[in-house]
Amino acid sequence: MKITIIGSTGQLATDLIKVLQDKHEVTGLTHQNIEVTDYHSCLILKNSHPDAIINTAAFHKTDQCEEEPLKTFSVNAVGTRNAATISKEIGATIMFVSTDYVFDGSKNEPYKEDDTPNPVNTYGISKLAGEFYTKQNPKHYIIRLASLFGVAGASGKGGNFVETMITKAKKNEPIRVVDDMWMSPTYTRDAATTIKKIMELKLPFGTYHSTNQGYCTWFQFAKEIFKIIGLDPTIKPTKTHQLKMKARRPRFSALKSVKLPKYGIQMREWKEALHDYLVEKGRIHNDQFLE
Ligand SMILES: NC(=O)c1ccc[n+]([C@@H]2O[C@H](COP(=O)([O-])OP(=O)(O)OC[C@H]3O[C@@H](n4cnc5c(N)ncnc54)[C@H](OP(=O)(O)O)[C@@H]3O)[C@@H](O)[C@H]2O)c1
C-alpha cells in the first residue's frame, strides 16, 4: 500500500512510520510540508497518489484549547475536513486518530466503540467534529486512542507523562498527581502495530478503540513507572479540582475494544507495554524484573 502520514514528526506517527515502512511505501508529511487548516496546502496529499492517508495532526493541549477555540477547531475539525475531502476525491482511505476525550466519563466502566460520545471540553468537541467530517469519506477509519507514551514524545505537548515523572523524580521535585481520574495508558508502538493490522486485514470501515488493556489513575500510573525503574520519590495523590485546570476532563475515560478481538486483535496490558517502553527508551534493561 502507498500510505501518507500527516504529522510525521509526532509521537504516534514516528512509530507508525517504523512499523509500516517494512511492507508499505510510506510518505511522511511534517507540519512544514502541510498545513491541514489550509485546503490548498492539503492538495499535496494528491502528489504521492496514496491508497490511504493517516491523519495524526492535532492541537491537543487540552487546557490551551479552552483559550483558543478557533485554533482548536481550525486544526482538529476544519483540518480534518480538508484531509477527508481530498482523500475522498482521490479514492483513498482516510484514517483519523481520535481520542477518549469524546466521552464524558460518567460511565464507570471502559467505553466501547458504540457508546455515545458526549465531550465535556473544547478539545473533545473539536475531535468529535473531526470524526463527523472523517465519516464524509465512506472509506474511513476512526481510531480512538488515549494517554499516549512513545519514544518520540508528543511534539504538541513537549514530551509525555512518563518522561515528565522521571524528570521530576530525578530533580527531587515534589510530585502531586491526580488519583481521581481513570484512563488507559497506551504505548504508541502498540497502537501503531494495531493500526497496521487494521489496514492490512482490511477490517470493515468504521470506528475502533485501540488502547492497551486495563486502566488506572494517573497517580497509579506514576507509581508503576517509579516501581519499574526503581525510583522512590515523594509522590502525593491529589484531587482534580485542586489543580484548577482550565478544561473539564472526563473522570473515567478508559476505552475497550469489542470489535478488534473479533478479528483476533488483542492489545496487551498497559503495565507490560510500559515496561517495554522503558526498555526502548533505555531507562531499564530488558531483563529487569516485571511483576
Ligand atoms: N498524546 C495523547 O495523549 C493523545 C491521546 C489521545 C488521542 N491523541 C491523538 O493522537 C494523535 C497523535 O498524537 P501525538 O501525541 O502523536 O501528537 P503529536 O506528537 O503532537 O503529533 C502531532 C503532529 O501533527 C503536526 N501538526 C500539528 N498541527 C498541525 C497542522 N495544523 N498542520 C499539519 N500538521 C500539524 C505536529 O507538528 P508540529 O509539532 O511541528 O506542529 C506533529 O507532527 C492526535 O490526533 C491526538 O489528538 C493523543
Q: Report the nearest-CA residue for atom 29 of ligand 1.
A: 57
Task: List CB contacts of 186: < 8 A, sequence separation 6 or more.
Answer: 145, 146, 147, 148, 149, 210, 211, 212, 267, 270, 273
Rounded to the nearest integer, the mean pLDDT of the chain is 96
> pLDDT digits over 108-145, tens only?
999 999 999 999 999 999 999 999 999 999 999 999 99
Record the cell numbers describing residue 82, joined without a space: 480538508
The alpha carbon of residue 11 and the mean position of all alpha carbons in its chain are separated, in whole angstroms, by 9
Confidence of residue 285 (pLDDT cuts 50, 70, 90): confident
Confidence of residue 288 (pLDDT cuts 50, 70, 90): low
Ligand 1 binding pocket (C-beta < 6 A) is 6-7, 9-13, 31, 34-37, 56-60, 75, 79, 97, 99, 145-148, 154-156
Atom in ligand 1 nearest the alpha carbon of residue 14: 16
Residue 193 has pLDDT above 90, yes or no: yes
Per cent of the chain over pLDDT 70 is: 98
Q: Which of 28-32, 33-37, 265-269, 285-289 has the lowest mean pLDDT?
A: 285-289
Record the cell numbers describing residue 201, joined without a space: 486485514
Q: Is there a contact between 115 and 104 (Cβ–Cβ < 8 Å)?
A: no
Q: What is the pLDDT of residue 287?
A: 65
Mutation pick for ligand 1 pocket among 4, 6, 8, 11 (CB with most ligand atoms within 8 Å)? 11
**Strand 216-217 relative to strand 182-183, pairing:** antiparallel
Q: Is there a contact between 229 and 278 (Cβ–Cβ < 8 Å)?
A: yes
State the residue for C-alpha cell 476512526: 142
Q: Report the nearest-CA residue for atom 5 of ligand 1.
A: 146
- The CA distances from residue 47 to 21, 24, 27, 41, 208, in Å, are 19, 17, 10, 11, 28
Question: Cα(280)–Cα(64) distance, rounded to whole angstroms?
Answer: 31
CA of residue 125 to ligand 1 center, whole Å: 16
Q: Report the nearest-CA residue for atom 8 of ligand 1.
A: 99
Q: Look at 240 and 157; give whichever has higher pLDDT.
A: 240
Q: Is there a contact between 273 and 214 (Cβ–Cβ < 8 Å)?
A: no
**Strand 52-55 relative to strand 182-183, pairing:** unpaired
State mean pLDDT over 141-167. 93
Residue 290 has pLDDT above 50, yes or no: no
Model pTM? 0.97
CA of residue 148 to ligand 1 center, whole Å: 11
CA of residue 9 to ligand 1 center, whole Å: 9
> pLDDT digits over 214-248, tens only?
999 999 999 999 999 999 999 999 999 999 899 99
CA of residue 6 to ligand 1 center, whole Å: 9
State mean pLDDT over 153-173. 90
CA of residue 289 to ligand 1 center, whole Å: 33
